[in-house]
Homo-oligomer: A and B are copies of this chain.
Amino acid sequence: MLAKRLLSFTNLGQGVNVSAVTSPLVWEHVQPPAARRLLTGAVDAFAERGFQATTTRDIASRAGMSPAALYVHYPSKERLLFEISLYGHQAALEILTKAAAGAGPADRLQGMVSAFTAWHAEHHTIARVVQYELAALSPEHFAEVATIRRAISALIERVLADGVADGSFAVDDLHGTTLAVLSLAIDVARWYSPSRQDPAELGALYADLALRMVQA
């Protein structure tokens, strides 16, 4: 009954686990190793089944530990979610900020959408937790990641506004178009599976589509 999450719109298999095990390299800053194993196990479990359907026993088991050992490193299941969500949001913002440093609005938008999209594909397990488990955060923890979300949204809206100002973009509804560009990249976390497409290729496709959406 606890089937795995959907992998594509038409779905390529409810029972197929295409979620690669989260690379430990991404979480090198988490110490000690036992805490890191729990965290990467939680990422995989949350991405596969969702936060509510994931048990602490499942997370501990993926880390090769007993259920009780989890509480030595994290005070609760929600705290584990928060650590993942916070780091994921910070990483996504950092990727986008770096890509925002381009020449003209078109170049910047191209770089931002391709990087943001590729991140959602490359780190689709983290991205799923980031984008779809916000409601499971405590109000205080949610408020913290919401700040980062506003910064991400503002970066996209800024480049579109700049493009309109210098005449390279033609956008009627600035806020609506910003949301649409974000949507396109975010929804990748819902359907992406590593076997389908290379993250960089997908990023290039989506950057092209975003440019078409806004270009004069």
Contacts and interface: CB of A to CB of B under 8 A. Distances in A.
Contacts of A184: 180, 183-184, 187
A4 interface: yes
How many copies altogether? 2
Contacts of A172: 205, 208
Contacts of A1: 78, 136, 138
A135 B4 contact: yes
A209 B205 contact: no
A179 B8 CA distance: 9
Nearest to A183: B187
Interface stretch (A29-37, A58-66, A104-112, A146-154): A146-154
Contacts of A149: 9-11
Interface stretch (A49-57, A67-75, A94-102, A160-168): A49-57
A95 B203 CA distance: 31
